[in-house]
């Protein structure tokens, strides 16, 4: 168990929502920590290597990682803490975050929590995939992550069900 920490605000999740809200809080001179379970900030943006991001906010066309980088650089220039490889397991009484990292279990006490944990694609069982051996059926988001971030092919003959842009 490592030592407990105290902050005004904890932002759970370091994707685009978490980065933007942490920056806003830091500018209010409150102590803030971003807690991210992954080994890097950026969330889903990191696997969206196509362009099309940033048109509204930066008035230029950026890829997901480029868009994330702009915010990560701002975060690095602000007085706020970032905990990577750290998962929030539970929030007790609204003010006590139970966390786990390679250092072990520890608590973070806060006055406020911003939940910016994104959303999850529903697993195969929840979307009524027929058959009892749906081996090789993966969601678009998982495919994107495996190909774009891990550099591995997911197969050679692929059937895509659905016609969304991803």
Q: Which residues bind ligand FAD (CB under 6 A)?
A: 12-18, 35-38, 43-45, 48, 52-53, 87-88, 116-118, 140-141, 144, 166
Pick 7 or 53: Cβ nearer ligand FAD: 53
Rounded to whole angstroms, the Cα distance separating 65 from 148 reads 11
Token look-up 């995939």 returns 129
Q: What is the smallest separation between the CB atom of 124 and ligand FAD, expressed in angstroms?
A: 16
Q: What is the smallest separation between the CB atom of 132 and ligand FAD, expressed in angstroms?
A: 27
Pick 29 or 39: Cβ nearer ligand FAD: 39
**5-12: strand order across its sheet:** 81-83, 32-35, 5-12, 104-115, 96-101, 87-92
Token look-up 């900030």 returns 41
Token look-up 């890829």 returns 63
Pick 27 or 50: Cβ nearer ligand FAD: 50
């Amino acid at each position: 168990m490592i030592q407990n920490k105290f902050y005004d605000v904890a932002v759970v999740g370091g994707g685009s929502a978490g980065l933007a809200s942490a920056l806003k809080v830091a500018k209010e001179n409150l102590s803030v920590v971003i807690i991210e379970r992954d080994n890097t900030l950026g969330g889903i943006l990191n696997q969206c290597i196509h362009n099309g991001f940033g048109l509204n906010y930066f008035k230029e066309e950026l890829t997901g990682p480029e868009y994330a980088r702009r915010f990560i650089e701002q975060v690095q220039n602000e007085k706020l803490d970032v905990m990577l490889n750290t998962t929030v397991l539970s929030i007790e009484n609204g003010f006590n975050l139970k966390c786990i990292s390679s250092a072990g279990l520890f608590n973070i006490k806060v006055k406020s929590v911003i939940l910016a944990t994104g959303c999850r694609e529903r697993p195969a069982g929840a979307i009524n995939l027929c058959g009892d051996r749906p081996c090789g059926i993966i969601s678009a988001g998982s495919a994107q992550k495996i190909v774009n971030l891990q550099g591995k092919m997911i197969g050679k003959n692929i059937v895509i069900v659905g016609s969304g842009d991803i």
